[in-house]
Structure 1
Amino acid sequence: MCEEHRTPPTDESPGARRPPVPPGPGPCEPAEARREVERAVAACCRTGHAPCDAHALADAQLVASELTTNAILHGGGVTDFHVDVDECGVRVCVSDHSDRLPVARPPVDPLGRHRLNGRGWPIVCRLAREVQVSDLPSGGKCITAVVPLY
Protein backbone atom coordinates (compact mmCIF):
# COMPACT_ATOMS: atom_id res chain seq x y z
CA MET A 1 0.00 0.00 0.00
CA CYS A 2 1.12 3.60 -0.43
CA GLU A 3 1.86 4.82 3.09
CA GLU A 4 -1.83 4.80 3.96
CA HIS A 5 -3.19 2.77 6.81
CA ARG A 6 -6.26 0.79 7.67
CA THR A 7 -8.45 2.59 10.17
CA PRO A 8 -11.04 1.14 12.58
CA PRO A 9 -14.54 0.38 11.28
CA THR A 10 -16.79 3.39 10.96
CA ASP A 11 -20.44 3.99 10.15
CA GLU A 12 -19.67 6.73 7.63
CA SER A 13 -16.96 7.75 5.22
CA PRO A 14 -13.89 9.04 7.04
CA GLY A 15 -13.33 12.76 7.09
CA ALA A 16 -16.68 13.86 5.71
CA ARG A 17 -17.46 17.37 6.97
CA ARG A 18 -20.67 18.19 5.11
CA PRO A 19 -23.24 16.04 3.35
CA PRO A 20 -21.50 14.19 0.52
CA VAL A 21 -22.58 14.54 -3.08
CA PRO A 22 -24.42 12.45 -4.13
CA PRO A 23 -26.09 10.71 -1.19
CA GLY A 24 -26.51 6.97 -1.45
CA PRO A 25 -24.65 4.44 -3.52
CA GLY A 26 -23.73 6.91 -6.26
CA PRO A 27 -21.84 6.07 -9.42
CA CYS A 28 -21.17 2.47 -10.33
CA GLU A 29 -19.08 3.26 -13.40
CA PRO A 30 -15.87 5.29 -13.76
CA ALA A 31 -17.43 7.81 -16.18
CA GLU A 32 -20.19 8.56 -13.67
CA ALA A 33 -17.60 9.01 -10.90
CA ARG A 34 -15.68 11.53 -13.05
CA ARG A 35 -18.90 13.49 -13.70
CA GLU A 36 -19.76 13.58 -9.99
CA VAL A 37 -16.30 14.96 -9.15
CA GLU A 38 -16.69 17.61 -11.86
CA ARG A 39 -20.12 18.62 -10.51
CA ALA A 40 -18.88 18.87 -6.92
CA VAL A 41 -15.82 20.95 -7.85
CA ALA A 42 -17.82 23.19 -10.19
CA ALA A 43 -20.40 23.84 -7.46
CA CYS A 44 -17.68 24.75 -4.97
CA CYS A 45 -15.93 27.01 -7.49
CA ARG A 46 -19.18 28.85 -8.31
CA THR A 47 -19.61 29.76 -4.66
CA GLY A 48 -15.98 30.87 -4.38
CA HIS A 49 -15.08 28.30 -1.71
CA ALA A 50 -12.22 26.75 -3.70
CA PRO A 51 -9.92 27.70 -6.54
CA CYS A 52 -10.72 26.07 -9.88
CA ASP A 53 -7.67 24.56 -11.51
CA ALA A 54 -8.23 22.35 -14.56
CA HIS A 55 -5.21 20.16 -13.79
CA ALA A 56 -6.31 19.58 -10.20
CA LEU A 57 -9.82 18.72 -11.40
CA ALA A 58 -8.38 16.23 -13.90
CA ASP A 59 -6.29 14.63 -11.12
CA ALA A 60 -9.35 14.28 -8.88
CA GLN A 61 -11.37 12.80 -11.73
CA LEU A 62 -8.62 10.30 -12.49
CA VAL A 63 -8.43 9.22 -8.85
CA ALA A 64 -12.22 8.75 -8.70
CA SER A 65 -12.14 6.79 -11.93
CA GLU A 66 -9.30 4.53 -10.77
CA LEU A 67 -10.89 3.85 -7.36
CA THR A 68 -14.20 3.02 -9.01
CA THR A 69 -12.53 0.78 -11.58
CA ASN A 70 -10.61 -1.05 -8.84
CA ALA A 71 -13.82 -1.56 -6.84
CA ILE A 72 -15.46 -3.08 -9.91
CA LEU A 73 -12.51 -5.27 -10.94
CA HIS A 74 -11.15 -6.33 -7.56
CA GLY A 75 -13.74 -5.47 -4.90
CA GLY A 76 -16.95 -7.08 -6.11
CA GLY A 77 -18.50 -3.78 -7.20
CA VAL A 78 -19.08 -0.29 -5.82
CA THR A 79 -21.29 -0.29 -2.72
CA ASP A 80 -21.03 3.42 -1.93
CA PHE A 81 -19.52 6.57 -3.43
CA HIS A 82 -19.14 10.06 -2.01
CA VAL A 83 -17.33 13.15 -3.18
CA ASP A 84 -16.88 16.30 -1.13
CA VAL A 85 -14.85 19.46 -1.59
CA ASP A 86 -13.35 21.17 1.44
CA GLU A 87 -10.31 23.25 2.33
CA CYS A 88 -8.07 20.17 1.93
CA GLY A 89 -9.20 19.46 -1.62
CA VAL A 90 -11.47 16.91 -3.24
CA ARG A 91 -12.29 13.98 -0.95
CA VAL A 92 -13.38 10.88 -2.86
CA CYS A 93 -14.70 7.86 -0.93
CA VAL A 94 -15.37 4.57 -2.72
CA SER A 95 -16.64 1.49 -0.89
CA ASP A 96 -16.73 -2.08 -2.14
CA HIS A 97 -17.50 -5.62 -0.96
CA SER A 98 -13.92 -6.82 -0.47
CA ASP A 99 -11.83 -6.79 2.71
CA ARG A 100 -8.63 -7.20 0.65
CA LEU A 101 -6.19 -4.30 0.74
CA PRO A 102 -5.15 -2.72 -2.55
CA VAL A 103 -1.62 -3.50 -3.68
CA ALA A 104 0.72 -2.13 -6.29
CA ARG A 105 1.81 -4.82 -8.71
CA PRO A 106 5.14 -4.70 -10.53
CA PRO A 107 4.80 -3.57 -14.15
CA VAL A 108 6.52 -6.80 -15.27
CA ASP A 109 5.37 -10.32 -14.35
CA PRO A 110 7.77 -13.06 -13.14
CA LEU A 111 8.34 -14.15 -16.75
CA GLY A 112 9.45 -10.65 -17.81
CA ARG A 113 6.25 -9.80 -19.67
CA HIS A 114 4.84 -6.28 -19.32
CA ARG A 115 1.44 -6.22 -17.61
CA LEU A 116 -1.42 -4.48 -19.38
CA ASN A 117 -3.05 -3.40 -16.13
CA GLY A 118 -2.14 -2.77 -12.50
CA ARG A 119 -1.37 0.94 -12.72
CA GLY A 120 -4.49 2.30 -11.00
CA TRP A 121 -3.38 2.02 -7.37
CA PRO A 122 0.03 3.68 -8.00
CA ILE A 123 -1.80 6.51 -9.81
CA VAL A 124 -4.08 7.03 -6.80
CA CYS A 125 -1.10 7.00 -4.44
CA ARG A 126 0.82 9.50 -6.53
CA LEU A 127 -1.99 12.02 -7.04
CA ALA A 128 -3.64 11.93 -3.62
CA ARG A 129 -2.33 13.90 -0.66
CA GLU A 130 -3.88 11.41 1.74
CA VAL A 131 -5.19 7.87 1.27
CA GLN A 132 -6.99 5.81 3.91
CA VAL A 133 -8.49 2.34 3.83
CA SER A 134 -11.23 1.70 6.41
CA ASP A 135 -12.98 -1.54 7.26
CA LEU A 136 -16.76 -1.25 7.12
CA PRO A 137 -18.95 -2.72 9.89
CA SER A 138 -21.04 -4.64 7.34
CA GLY A 139 -17.93 -6.01 5.59
CA GLY A 140 -15.88 -4.64 2.77
CA LYS A 141 -13.85 -1.47 2.83
CA CYS A 142 -13.97 2.23 2.08
CA ILE A 143 -11.01 3.90 0.38
CA THR A 144 -10.79 7.64 0.88
CA ALA A 145 -8.41 9.75 -1.18
CA VAL A 146 -7.92 13.51 -0.85
CA VAL A 147 -6.66 15.24 -3.98
CA PRO A 148 -5.45 18.83 -3.55
CA LEU A 149 -7.22 21.47 -5.62
CA TYR A 150 -4.23 23.80 -5.74
Structure 2
Amino acid sequence: MPSWPAPPACGPPPRPGAWTTCSELVANAIRHTDGPCALHLELQDDSIDVCVADRSPRLPQLRTPGTDGTGGWGWFVIKRLATRIHIKAMPDGGKTICAALPW
Protein backbone atom coordinates (compact mmCIF):
# COMPACT_ATOMS: atom_id res chain seq x y z
CA MET A 1 0.00 0.00 0.00
CA PRO A 2 1.44 3.42 -0.89
CA SER A 3 2.44 5.74 1.91
CA TRP A 4 1.34 9.35 1.55
CA PRO A 5 2.37 12.15 3.87
CA ALA A 6 -0.46 13.32 6.11
CA PRO A 7 -1.65 16.93 5.93
CA PRO A 8 -0.11 18.96 8.77
CA ALA A 9 -3.44 19.34 10.62
CA CYS A 10 -3.94 15.55 10.76
CA GLY A 11 -0.68 14.56 12.42
CA PRO A 12 1.32 11.47 11.48
CA PRO A 13 0.00 8.96 8.95
CA PRO A 14 -1.95 6.04 10.42
CA ARG A 15 -0.24 2.78 11.22
CA PRO A 16 -0.83 -0.02 8.71
CA GLY A 17 -2.98 -1.90 11.25
CA ALA A 18 -5.67 0.77 10.98
CA TRP A 19 -6.03 0.23 7.22
CA THR A 20 -6.08 -3.54 7.65
CA THR A 21 -8.68 -3.40 10.42
CA CYS A 22 -10.95 -1.08 8.39
CA SER A 23 -10.69 -3.36 5.39
CA GLU A 24 -11.32 -6.57 7.34
CA LEU A 25 -14.27 -5.26 9.38
CA VAL A 26 -16.01 -3.81 6.33
CA ALA A 27 -15.27 -6.89 4.19
CA ASN A 28 -16.62 -9.17 6.93
CA ALA A 29 -19.80 -7.09 7.26
CA ILE A 30 -20.36 -7.24 3.50
CA ARG A 31 -19.53 -10.93 3.22
CA HIS A 32 -21.31 -12.29 6.28
CA THR A 33 -24.40 -10.07 6.62
CA ASP A 34 -27.30 -8.91 4.51
CA GLY A 35 -27.88 -5.23 3.92
CA PRO A 36 -25.77 -2.13 4.33
CA CYS A 37 -22.96 -1.45 6.77
CA ALA A 38 -21.40 1.76 8.04
CA LEU A 39 -17.78 2.59 8.93
CA HIS A 40 -17.00 5.11 11.68
CA LEU A 41 -13.48 6.22 12.64
CA GLU A 42 -12.72 8.20 15.77
CA LEU A 43 -9.27 9.46 16.69
CA GLN A 44 -8.48 9.36 20.42
CA ASP A 45 -5.39 10.70 22.21
CA ASP A 46 -3.29 7.60 21.58
CA SER A 47 -5.53 5.31 19.55
CA ILE A 48 -8.02 5.17 16.72
CA ASP A 49 -11.40 3.49 17.08
CA VAL A 50 -12.47 1.62 13.95
CA CYS A 51 -16.18 0.79 14.16
CA VAL A 52 -18.42 -1.01 11.69
CA ALA A 53 -22.19 -1.31 12.12
CA ASP A 54 -24.35 -3.83 10.28
CA ARG A 55 -27.87 -5.21 10.50
CA SER A 56 -27.01 -8.76 11.57
CA PRO A 57 -27.21 -9.90 15.21
CA ARG A 58 -24.71 -12.71 14.46
CA LEU A 59 -21.42 -12.30 16.31
CA PRO A 60 -18.07 -12.80 14.57
CA GLN A 61 -16.75 -16.34 14.74
CA LEU A 62 -13.07 -17.15 15.09
CA ARG A 63 -12.36 -19.73 12.39
CA THR A 64 -9.31 -21.81 11.69
CA PRO A 65 -7.52 -19.86 8.95
CA GLY A 66 -7.16 -21.66 5.66
CA THR A 67 -3.62 -22.18 4.41
CA ASP A 68 -4.86 -21.93 0.83
CA GLY A 69 -5.99 -18.29 1.16
CA THR A 70 -9.71 -19.10 1.23
CA GLY A 71 -10.48 -17.16 4.38
CA GLY A 72 -10.64 -17.36 8.12
CA TRP A 73 -7.87 -14.82 8.74
CA GLY A 74 -9.91 -11.63 9.22
CA TRP A 75 -11.12 -11.94 12.80
CA PHE A 76 -7.81 -13.53 13.82
CA VAL A 77 -5.87 -10.55 12.39
CA ILE A 78 -8.22 -7.98 13.95
CA LYS A 79 -7.86 -9.60 17.37
CA ARG A 80 -4.05 -9.49 17.03
CA LEU A 81 -3.91 -5.84 15.92
CA ALA A 82 -6.48 -4.31 18.27
CA THR A 83 -5.72 -3.36 21.86
CA ARG A 84 -9.44 -3.45 22.66
CA ILE A 85 -12.54 -4.84 20.90
CA HIS A 86 -16.11 -4.00 21.85
CA ILE A 87 -19.26 -5.44 20.28
CA LYS A 88 -22.53 -3.64 20.98
CA ALA A 89 -25.95 -5.05 20.11
CA MET A 90 -28.21 -2.48 18.48
CA PRO A 91 -31.93 -2.06 19.27
CA ASP A 92 -32.84 -2.84 15.63
CA GLY A 93 -31.20 -6.28 15.85
CA GLY A 94 -27.86 -5.34 14.33
CA LYS A 95 -24.49 -4.78 15.96
CA THR A 96 -21.53 -2.43 16.01
CA ILE A 97 -18.02 -3.81 16.29
CA CYS A 98 -15.34 -1.36 17.49
CA ALA A 99 -11.62 -2.13 17.49
CA ALA A 100 -9.16 0.27 19.13
CA LEU A 101 -5.69 0.41 17.61
CA PRO A 102 -2.55 2.28 18.68
CA TRP A 103 -2.09 5.55 16.81
Under a length normalisation based on structure 2, what TM-score does the superposition of the two structures give?
0.82
Q: Distance between the aligned counterparts of 1:78 and 1:91, measured in 2? A: 20
Give 1:10-21 correspondences, 5 Å limit.
none
Aligned to 2:97: 143
Select between 73-82 and 120-129 the one with higher mean Cα deviation.
Answer: 73-82
Q: Distance between the aligned counterparts of 2:26 and 2:74, measured in 1? A: 10
Aligned to 1:72: 30
| 2:9 paired residue among 43, 47, 53 | 47
Aligned residue type for 1:47: A
Deviation at 1:106, TM superposition (A): 1.1
Contact 2:55–2:95 (CA<8 Å) still a contact in 1?
A: yes
Q: Give unpaired runs (5+ residues) of structure 2.
A: 1-5
Q: Give unpaired runs (5+ residues) of structure 1.
A: 1-41
**Percent sequence identity over aligned pairs:** 35
Q: 1:126 to 1:140 in 2, by over 3 A?
A: same
CA RMSD of aligned residues (A): 2.3
Q: Distance between the aligned counterparts of 1:105 and 1:115, measured in 2? A: 13
Aligned to 1:86: 44
Structure with greater strand percent:
2
Q: Distance between the aligned counterparts of 1:96 and 1:123, measured in 2? A: 20
Aligned residue type for 2:76: P
Deviation at 1:77, TM superposition (A): 4.1
Q: Secondary structure at the match of 1:47?
A: helix
Deviation at 1:138, TM superposition (A): 1.2
Note if 1:130 corresponds to 2:102.
no
Deviation at 1:134, TM superposition (A): 0.6
Q: Secondary structure at the match of 1:93?
A: strand
Q: Distance between the aligned counterparts of 1:129 and 1:77, measured in 2? A: 29
Q: Distance between the aligned counterparts of 2:23 and 2:71, measured in 1? A: 14
Aligned to 2:70: 116
Q: Secondary structure at the match of 1:122?
A: helix
Deviation at 1:115, TM superposition (A): 6.0
Under a length normalisation based on structure 1, what TM-score does the superposition of the two structures give?
0.58
